Structure 1
Amino acid sequence: MSDFVMPSLGADMEAATLVEWLVKPGDRVEKGQIIAVVETAKGAIDVEVFESGVVEECYVEPDTKVPVGTPLARIGSGEGVIAEPPGDVPAPTAAEVVPPEPAAEPIPSPAAPHQPEPASEPEPRSATEDGHVAASPAVRRRARELGVELGNISGSGPGGAIVLRDLEREEAGGARTESRRGGFDRDEMRRAIAASMSRAKREIPHYYLATTLDLHAAERWLEEYNRERPPEARLLMAALFMKATARALSRYPDLNGHYDERGFHLAERIDLGMAIHLRGGGLIAPALQGAEALALPELMTRLQDLVQRARRGGLRASEIGSASATVTALGERGVDTVYGVIHPPQVAMIGFGSVRRRPLAVDDMLAIRPAVDVSLAADHRVCDGHLGALFLNEIDAQLQHPEAL
């Protein structure tokens, strides 16, 4: 038996709000299953459980802000299940229950003809006993447009039929949930970024290196690879950058890890963070986990998935807090070189600028070739410029042989 606690989703995170439980007491959960949604300065994050078992009790109610490390639920064998969710209103006692007074029976008038008793009105229901959902063609058409399952909606029309106002209510509720999961407070996020970057510049002795890489071989290989593939299966140059960086980190592991009060700790694998700009002005850097072991097509798919989930909501806690080094790429914004600030407790930030056609010296001749500036911001407590230079040269060597990536 153990407690499931509010996870730390970054060095700058002190507390978060529990938005929603996705399980209830008595539910069996498996390691890695998403069981809750929490809201941080970076938006709503899906939180996984790190052991299998049965949810025995939920300690915290939704919409409660709690510090990192606070127990949220108890996971055990199932013997100690407490079924009542937190915050339930206790049932009224017998003394509190006041039965309604019976309505006075009308005194029939002797002159009035006998009136039959009105039939009792049926209880509202949306589906008949044979499973048919009561709804008009207009309601069914609108439900298809919204992607709503009519069988999950309680109808408020005659006989429990589903009417358009029921769909509008369902749509509004879904929009609120999606907004909360995908949105973020811009001011709060800017404060969190400022606090993290201020700490980084204050505590981490940065050094910076940059060089220009010839992408002639990478571009030709990429064109050949994509020629016979449909658009959804094609690779972008960003995938080659990420894979080459991961390979270089495996060769120079002193840049892949975390530095804390106990010193530097090598990471067990390469969880490569990717800085993603959020619509509305935010920034988040989820990790591409185990990047060095991913084949290029899978890496491309995972990269696109990370970007989509970062912008609409749905990132996992393990993707937020696990990055062992981070890549930032501002090439699409037209800049040649980007010098990043290291995300504590990491010790390296790698930056890629725009891919441009430039004059380069090739075999004592001048050639116009695609090239990119790559930079490194590294922690001087862990390594020196000598190792940093070797690392950038290794990225270059990897990109000169893209077929091996």
Structure 2
Amino acid sequence: MISFTLPALGSDMDQGKLLQWRIKPGDRVGRGQVVAVVDTSKAAVDVESWQEGTVFELLVAPGETIPVGAVLATLLEPGETPETAVRTPAARPAAPAAPPSRAAQPAPAAIAAAAAAPSGGRRRVSPAARKLAEEHGIAIDQLPGTGPDGAVTLQDVQHAAEAQLKAAGAPAAGADRHAEMRRAIAAAMSRSKREIPHYYLSEPIPLQHAQAWLADANAGRDISSRLLLAVLQLKAVALALDRHPDINGFYLDGAHRPSAAVHVGVAISLRHGGLIAPAIHDVRQKSLDELMRDLSDLVRRARAGSLRSSEMSDPTITVTNLGDQGVDAVSGVIYPPQVALVGFGRVQERAWASDGALRAMPAVTATLAADHRVSDGHYGALFLAEVRDWLQRPEQL
């Protein structure tokens, strides 16, 4: 019997709410398959299975909140059958579904609008809208849609949920989620500053050659496929880790565990406040075009609340870029159990001495926050200098 447990989807997560199962008893599950959707304090996350087997039992009902590490389901191993397997007692009985409140019932006008929607086939509903409707007990088939051809959008469900909560005298769900997110971030960052002996380094990096190379590379591209400086920075960090692997990995159970893979967590600000840092996997092996596509996709899905569990649970180092906020430099706080965070500020013209002459040069300040239990200032300085040197050779990235 294989137990499938709720993974930690980030250092600031200690519990999650099961929104939806994507499997049922009797289904065959493969490695990497999405089996459930879990709501964390920051996003609804598609949870992947890293075991193979046949689904035997689902032990948690949608709507239940469970702690990290709790058994969600069991899988049959090869040779096991439902008749010979021993059933696992559920950690807690599934809570009965609450009857919908009067506020959840659609208004007559809503029913009329829904009835007027196209009847030729199933109504179009975005996945994010369907998840939110299930969470709030909203009958999505009776909800009017404002999207193309009457499609139900996430905004339609949000408006219905807010109206439902307002009628019941409860605070808006968005306000609750924002407060919960701030508490989770505060807990994780407090733990980081309490447990991790940080040291900080910074280095100004000239970008004249990198900007000129980017301009040439983007000259024949449409806007949607143009490369950003951010992908050069991500790739430079990943390549610098080849010679400085101690910066990449985790500190767990009192020991340093370097990672052979480079999964870079990208700090993304969410539209309604808060921060999330999901990973782009195998950055070292990817081309700049692949990284640009991955970065654009990750930002879009993070802000839509549609991420995968592997993206949340396995970043080996984090990069934050606050240059678009107009700041010169950022001194970040490490996301435990990672051991380093790299920051980039804004690009600005600076007085720069080169070849005995003083001239204006576009430059950025790169910073490193690192864990003194794993490395020291000398090692961190060599790593940051390596990042600087890679950004002087963009054609080799």
TM-score of the two chains, using structure 2 as the length reference: 0.79
Look up the SS of the partner of 1:190 in the other structure: helix
Query: Is the 8 Å Cα contact of residues 205 and 363 (structure 2) preserved in structure 1?
Result: yes
| 1:327 partnered with 2:319 | yes
| 1:275 partnered with 2:275 | no
Aligned residue runs from structure 1 range 3-402, under 5 A: 3-76=3-76, 77=78, 79-80=81-82, 139-140=117-118, 147=124, 166=142, 168=144, 175-176=156-157, 185-402=177-394
The gaps in structure 2 that reach 5 residues or longer are 97-113, 127-140, 162-172
Q: Deviations over 1:152-196 (max 9, x none)?
A: xxxxxxxxxxxxx8562896697549999x978111111111111
Q: Deviations over 1:35-82 (max 9, x none)?
A: 101111122111001122221211110111111111111122573289
Change (3 A) 1:179 1:284: farther
Distance 1:47 1:178 in 2: 27
Query: Is the 8 Å Cα contact of residues 16 and 66 (structure 2) preserved in structure 1?
Result: yes
Look up the SS of the partner of 1:198 in the other structure: helix
Distance 1:375 1:235 in 2: 22
Look up the SS of the partner of 1:326 in the other structure: strand
1:266 partner letter: P
Distance 2:309 2:192 in 1: 22
Computing the radius of gyration from Cα coordinates, the structure with the larger value is: 1
Look up the SS of the partner of 1:392 in the other structure: helix
Distance 2:201 2:19 in 1: 42
Q: Deviations over 1:240-274 (max 9, x none)?
A: 00000111122200100111223111012111111
Distance 1:354 1:47 in 2: 35
Distance 2:66 2:27 in 1: 23
Distance 1:140 1:30 in 2: 37
Distance 1:140 1:328 in 2: 45
The gaps in structure 1 that reach 5 residues or longer are 90-135, 150-164
Change (3 A) 1:88 1:39: closer
Change (3 A) 1:371 1:179: farther
2:320 partner letter: T
2:64 partner letter: T
Query: Is the 8 Å Cα contact of residues 320 and 341 (structure 2) preserved in structure 1?
Result: yes
Distance 2:374 2:57 in 1: 44
Look up the SS of the partner of 1:303 in the other structure: helix
Query: Is the 8 Å Cα contact of residues 124 and 151 (structure 2) preserved in structure 1?
Result: no
Query: Is the 8 Å Cα contact of residues 43 and 185 (structure 1) preserved in structure 2?
Result: no
Q: Deviations over 1:211-265 (max 9, x none)?
A: 1000011111101100011222210000000000111122200100111223111
Q: Deviations over 1:343-362 (max 9, x none)?
A: 11111010000011222111
Query: Is the 8 Å Cα contact of residues 125 and 153 (structure 2) preserved in structure 1?
Result: no
Q: CA deviation at 1:29?
A: 2.1
Distance 1:223 1:179 in 2: 46
Change (3 A) 1:353 1:63: same
Look up the SS of the partner of 1:209 in the other structure: strand
Query: Is the 8 Å Cα contact of residues 250 and 270 (structure 1) preserved in structure 2?
Result: no
Q: What percentage of residue pairs aligned between the two structures are identical?
A: 47
2:3 partner letter: D
Query: Is the 8 Å Cα contact of residues 33 and 48 (structure 2) preserved in structure 1?
Result: yes
Distance 2:330 2:119 in 1: 50
Look up the SS of the partner of 1:139 in the other structure: coil
Look up the SS of the partner of 1:250 in the other structure: coil
TM-score of the two chains, using structure 1 as the length reference: 0.78
Look up the SS of the partner of 2:311 in the other structure: helix
- How many residue pairs are counted as aligned between the two chains? 343
Distance 2:318 2:18 in 1: 27
Aligned residues: CA RMSD: 3.2
